Structure 1
Amino acid sequence: MNKPQQQLFDGPRSGRRTFAPEEAASILADRNLGNRNRSASVVARYARDMAAGNWQLNGDAIRFDVDGRLIDGQHRLQACVESGVPLTSFVVWNLPREAQATMDDGRKRTMANTLQFAGHDVHAKTVSSILRRALILDWTDGARTKGGTAPSKAEMSAYYDAHPLVGAAAVAADLTRANVRCAASTLGLAYLIFARIDPAQAEEFFVKLRTGAGLEEGDPILVLRNRLTREGSTRLATESDETLAWFILAWNAKRAGRRIKILRHKTGDRFPVAA
């Protein structure tokens, strides 16, 4: 008579190994049973990091139960397949079947946490939101600024290192939102876009937006300020493409020396480009 499974179980084993894409595909085909549905966006994010050489061996393990069933790691293995890059990982096997129910149950570390670990405690949340939206905006050529595939922490960290103005954008956003009703990520992203063109004029634009000082009727900054004051309360918690478009239209008009009466951008309109 066969012994009960719990008597055969003598504890987990662990080690480190490298999975070739072909082996990863085989595991997914034969041993990935009863897992949650895979997220295509998560796989794409992991695969980009692997292909770029940014994937880190951080101690997170690929895990198998006593029956050899894959119970954690399907997204990493699928990313290995899609990137065509071997995946080196710690591996734990011979786990009890019920162990899967307790996995991924902790609080996820965010990009803001990553910035805090690096000593950037001030404005970390705003910096994180600006980085995410700036990358998506760059990827989509201004077609949209939210949704789709989220950038990875490695991609956001690289962008942060390459664009030192992100820090100034976060400071400007956090200062300005005390006076203007608008999401910090929209304020910060607008500042970043403008500061790439003319840092001094971007700073002046935001000071006037924040204070309202010296603005006359028809001034694009005043028109923007009034619209945010009037409609910002319904958009405060959102990251609106339309609101970002208002900023860019006001910036372009201010740079051209034009007076305006209204800022308008509808869904489906060509997204404006800051000049």
Structure 2
Amino acid sequence: MHTFVEQSHPEFVRALAVQTADRISPNAADFAADADPGLVAARVYLNEMIADPQHRAVVLTVEPAMARALLELNTSNRPASGPTLKKYEARMRRGWKLTGETIIVSRKGVLLNGQHRLRACISSGRSFEVFLAFGIDDDAFAYMDIGKTRGAADIFSIYGVPNAAAMSAASLWVWKYQNTGMMEPASWLKPTHDQLYEFFKEHHGLQKSYTAGHRFADNKVAPQAIMTALHYLCSKVSRTIADDFFEKVATGIGLKKAAEPAAKLRKRLLDDKIGGRRLGDLYVGAYTVMVWNAMRQNNPVPLMRWRGEQNPDQPFPRIV
């Protein structure tokens, strides 16, 4: 077992911080004298292990100072969960057992997992024993905890995608449009979270449709994810027309006539809300594409009915 000893003498702390200033922080020498001695010593220990791992894994007693130092490496992990943190904190207070579940630091010095235990250690003020692994490939987190509740939004967040939850949900709708005609795919066909992220990278323009989709959620007109996806798909036809059409439907701003296509679609979506019913996402999407197509082709707005879920012979409309 590795024993991490906190050295509290000020001169020792200053010497350690200055010695490893290039690996701790550009300003390490400046804050060394004022820094918590345990935190500075923990930073030094971690930087030495990251730079030249002595072992792939060690058993370490993690105290709050070490937990803080490890969390400073938490630059790519998914957001912490409040309920999970409370559960871990309660267990820390009762006494934590060495379970074999590893806290992992990558080759580049990024914390790949374990943040809830570390935050619970700090909030509870309790130490705990854990396996601490170093030198793991940075892309290995995609294969971690795949049997747990790590969803596509978590993977997107880990990769640093802004608006991760909205982008992962919208990406799946775009994938369905291209691969299954918007129908729910069979389990063997549905993309894994990592495959969905790779798909998103091929359609990174989705991020530019976030604001358009978010307006529907803000105004409680329609679900954000499918409208983000449809705005993106329509913008591939014409970004200017898509921006104008979707803003009018979401906000009502710029509508001049009740008979214009965007006004009719907005009324249909809002009437369903007022009636206390919830129009399914597929129907919202089908009606949106029907009206978009009518507008693009200068045709009358069709009766907004779609029976795709009951009648496979009526496919989801394609965008023109």
Q: Same fold (TM over 0.5)?
A: yes
When normalised by structure 1's length, the TM-score is 0.56
Give RMSD over aligned pairs: 2.9
Assess if the C-alpha contact under 8 Å between 2:294 and 2:302 holds in 1. no
Within-5 A mapping of 1:77-226: 104=147, 107-121=148-162, 123-140=163-180, 142=181, 144-149=182-187, 150-212=190-252, 213-226=254-267
- Shift, 1:202, TM fit: 0.9
Would the alpha carbon gap of residues 127 and 223 (structure 1) be closer, same or farther in structure 2, given more than 3 Å must change? same
- Shift, 1:177, TM fit: 2.1
- Shift, 1:229, TM fit: 0.4
Percent identity over paired residues: 18
Would the alpha carbon gap of residues 145 and 195 (structure 1) be closer, same or farther in structure 2, given more than 3 Å must change? farther
* Superimposed CA distance per residue, residues 105-160 of structure 1 (whole angstroms, 9 cap, x where no aligned partner): xx522221122223234x221111111122122111x2x33352331122211111
Is 1:270 matched up with 2:308? no
Q: Which amino acid aligns with 2:282?
A: D
Q: Distance in 1 between matches of 2:250 and 2:141?
A: 43
Would the alpha carbon gap of residues 263 and 120 (structure 1) be closer, same or farther in structure 2, given more than 3 Å must change? same
Q: Distance in 1 between matches of 2:220 and 2:228?
A: 13
* Superimposed CA distance per residue, residues 202-258 of structure 1 (whole angstroms, 9 cap, x where no aligned partner): 11111111221223122111111011101145336x5x3222110101101111223
Unaligned 5+ runs, structure 1: 1-11, 13-55, 62-72, 74-103
Unaligned 5+ runs, structure 2: 1-99, 101-138
More relative contact order, 1 or 2 (CA 8 Å, 6+ apart): 1
